[in-house]
Amino acid sequence: MNVKTADYIGSFPKESSCPQVNNPEYAFVGRSNVGKSSLINALTGRKKLAKVSATPGKTQMINFFKINNMWHLVDLPGYGYAKISKTKRRQWERMIEDYMRFRKTLQVAFVLIDGSIPPQEIDLEFINKLGEYQVPLAIIFTKLDKVKGSKRKNSTAAFKEALLESWESLPDMFYTSSKKREGMAELQRYIHALNEQYYDLINP
């Protein structure tokens, strides 16, 4: 799948105000600083796409982009800001929970995990919560260029082991570096395959 067009649709404060259109949708979420903007830009081949979501007023919103006039890329606000107030945090949790549970067109929530650092409790908690809601999810390890070849396996294996403490089987996983553009073709193929399935189902 090549990205021919990538258009900003808008930013919405909650699930119930998101556009009600039948496009297959993929959400990207992770701890702030995990490399989400870089990944969205690398995946779409647009240098500044994710910048839109980082502009004032939009960082706490559900940001929508339409790719190839066919699918939605949804950039969700990151979690784990040290300085965030309790009220803001609760608002974030509510927004994400509603979005994940009720968004019918959501195909997969991609949870980004920094592959260059040890497993973080906050990421495991978040993934376990999505599991409780039975949200279809996949994991994207980011920043793998920071880990030298032989150590790569160890850094992602530690995360998998931590997950297997509460999960019976592992979700699909992608190994990426936005800096080196690694893993983008695999992600694009995955999304493409799910889009085909989606459209086959609604237009058999």
What is the Cα–Cα distance from 163 to 1, expressed in whole angstroms?
30
Q: Are 74 and 63 in contact (CB under 8 A)?
A: yes
**32 sits near ligand GDP (criterion: CB under 6 A):** yes
Closer Cβ to ligand GDP, 76 or 130, answer by number: 76
| Stretch of residues binding ligand GDP (CB under 6 A), selected from 100-108, 126-134, 141-149, 190-198 | 141-149
**143 sits near ligand GDP (criterion: CB under 6 A):** yes
Closer Cβ to ligand GDP, 9 or 54, answer by number: 54
Using alpha carbons, list the distances in angstroms from residue 74 to 110, 120, 144: 10, 24, 23
What is the Cα–Cα distance from 48 to 38, expressed in whole angstroms?
9
Closer Cβ to ligand GDP, 152 or 179, answer by number: 179
Q: Nearest 5°: phi and psi at 107? A: -90, -50
Q: Are 39 and 178 in contact (CB under 8 A)?
A: yes
| Stretch of residues binding ligand GDP (CB under 6 A), selected from 20-28, 32-40, 55-63, 157-165 | 32-40
| Stretch of residues binding ligand GDP (CB under 6 A), selected from 11-19, 35-43, 63-71, 119-127 | 35-43
**34 sits near ligand GDP (criterion: CB under 6 A):** yes
Q: How far is the CB of 164 from ligand GDP (least distance, A)?
A: 25
Closer Cβ to ligand GDP, 76 or 95, answer by number: 76
Q: Beta 106-114 vs 137-142: how paired, if at all? A: parallel
Report CA 63 to chain centroid distance, whole Å: 12
| Stretch of residues binding ligand GDP (CB under 6 A), selected from 16-24, 34-42, 63-71, 190-198 | 34-42
Closer Cβ to ligand GDP, 43 or 163, answer by number: 43
Q: Are 42 and 142 in contact (CB under 8 A)?
A: no
**177 sits near ligand GDP (criterion: CB under 6 A):** yes
What is the Cα–Cα distance from 7 to 188, expressed in whole angstroms?
17
What is the Cα–Cα distance from 112 to 176, expressed in whole angstroms?
10
Residues that bind ligand GDP (CB under 6 A): 32-38, 78, 142-143, 145-146, 177-179
